[in-house]
Structure 1
């Protein structure tokens, strides 16, 4: 069987609040680590979230 193209990743807040989002990405086309600006409810503002592995 072939490997799946999409993998689940965890986007963790760069501010260290412990907030995270779980999303999918295409591992074949996006080989670098994903970063997104998303809302952090603990800080009540948008911050950078960086990719981490799901444990």
Structure 2
């Protein structure tokens, strides 16, 4: 069987609340690290979320 083309990555909040989202990424098509503005319910506002590895 072939390996899946997508990997799971963790999007960690830059507001240092410890909140994170888990999403999928295709490393062949998007080689740079992901970063999105998403809602952080701990900080109760939209902040920047940056990609990190799932440990």
Partner of 1:7: 7
What is the distance in 2 between the residues matched to 1:2 and 1:30?
A: 20
Structure 1 moving runs of 4+ over 4 Å: none
Q: Structure 1: which 5+ runs fail to align? A: none
Match runs of 1:1-55 below 5 Å? 1-55=1-55
- Tell me the TM-score normalised to structure 1 length: 0.92
Q: Structure 2: which 5+ runs fail to align? A: none
Match of 1:37, SS state, is strand
Alignment root-mean-square deviation, CA:
1.0
What is the distance in 2 between the residues matched to 1:29 and 1:2?
A: 18
Number of residue pairs aligned between Structure 1 and Structure 2: 55
